[in-house]
A = this chain, B = another copy of it.
């Protein structure tokens, strides 16, 4: 089971809408497949130029380790050098905070991830989940 481009568009649009409705700062949203490769991305007007990298770092780390952004944050709080090592391992493409959300298909297998950045990490995760839900998938933040 894969995330189609059509589904990825829904995830992004609904995540951006959720952010706007909650008056979050301008969000950026990436959707990656089960191998961590980009399917689609959008950066809101007014967001800073590095937001693609931040969003991808959140989503890529989720997929590569099979861990949510929250779980990575917890590991980082307990063992900062471990997430530092992961950052080097994945060529810097690793941002261990909420806003990185695993996407699971109907059988529970990881089929990709979403990375949201722009507001607080917790709000980023809320927006990501809204998009994933709207697309009919199960998000794990």
| A interface residues (Cβ-Cβ under 8 A, vs B) | 2, 4-5, 8-9, 33-45, 47-50, 52-54, 57, 63-67, 76-77, 79-97, 110
A sample of 7 cross-chain residue pairs with beta-carbon separation below 8 angstroms, ordered by A number, consists of: A39-B43, A40-B42, A50-B63, A81-B96, A82-B97, A83-B85, A88-B93
Q: Given B49, B92, B97, B110, which contacts A36 in the complex, CB threshold below 8 Å? A: B49
Is A34 a contact partner of B5 (Cβ separation < 8 A)? no
Describe A's contact surface by its main secondary structure.
mixed
- How far, in Å, is A35 (CB) from chain B's closest CB? 2
What's the Cα separation between A33 and B44 when bound, in Å?
12
**Contact yes or no, B91 A64, CB < 8 A:** no
* Complex alpha-carbon distance, A37 and B36, angstroms: 10
**Besides A5-B43, A88-B91, 15 other A-B contacts (C-beta < 8 A):** A4-B45, A5-B42, A38-B52, A40-B41, A48-B63, A48-B64, A48-B66, A81-B96, A82-B96, A84-B84, A85-B92, A87-B89, A88-B93, A89-B92, A91-B92
